[in-house]
């Protein structure tokens, strides 16, 4: 039972940490981020299993993480309010070619990030865009102005 409690606490702590990094951070993993993920994985394992190195303890910890993930997914689909809390909401970060600086700052994005994402989608100028939306998965969607 101790493993279940520790796994639950660590699962929700990691969830808070990931949500706190912002949507854009989730979409871009740098080599340093990859190293951090590996190191966090090792630290989490030590915190969850403590001295229990048994296969049963490891399977139980994984089952708790998977169970919480399924429950969070189910709640997100079942309740709009839970969905907003657990997965977030899309955020408009540019409107009629003008960056919305407060929203960009809050989401840890720069105008250069917007320009780069637009170029990757074949859009030459931010002035061509009616809306830029930071989606919940960290991607940026663009709605171009009609001619």
pLDDT at residue 3, rounded to an integer:
81
pLDDT at residue 24, rounded to an integer:
54
Q: How many other C-beta atoms can be found within 10 angstroms of the C-beta atom of residue 75?
A: 15
CA–CA–CA angle 66, 20, 84 (5° rounding) = 70
CATH topology for the 91-144 domain:
CRO Repressor (3.30.240)
pLDDT tens string 59-83: 887 888 888 888 988 998 999 998 8
Q: Using the 8-state DSSP alphabet, how is residue 135 labeled?
A: -
Which parts of the chain register pLDDT below 70? 20-37, 46, 49, 147
pLDDT at residue 130, rounded to an integer:
96
**Where along the chain do its domains lie?**
2-87, 91-144
pLDDT at residue 34, rounded to an integer:
63
Q: Both tokens of residue 81?
A: 């309010």
pLDDT at residue 30, rounded to an integer:
62
Report how far apart, in Å, the C-alpha atoms of 42 and of each of 38, 48, 73 are.
7, 10, 25
């Amino acid at each position: 039972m101790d493993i279940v409690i520790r796994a639950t606490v660590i699962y929700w702590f990691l969830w808070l940490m990931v949500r706190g990094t912002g949507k854009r951070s989730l979409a871009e993993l740098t080599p340093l981020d990859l190293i951090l993920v590996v190191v966090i994985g090792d630290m989490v394992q030590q915190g969850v299993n403590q001295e229990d190195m048994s296969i049963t303890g490891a399977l139980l910890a994984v089952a708790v993480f998977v169970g919480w993930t399924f429950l969070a997914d189910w709640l997100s689909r079942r309740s709009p309010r839970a969905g907003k809390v657990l997965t977030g909401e899309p955020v408009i970060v540019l409107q009629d070619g003008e960056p919305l600086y407060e929203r960009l700052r809050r989401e840890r994005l720069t105008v250069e990030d917007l320009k780069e994402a637009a170029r990757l989608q074949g859009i030459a100028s931010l002035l061509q865009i009616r809306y830029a939306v930071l989606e919940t998965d960290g991607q940026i969607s663009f709605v171009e102005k009609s001619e």
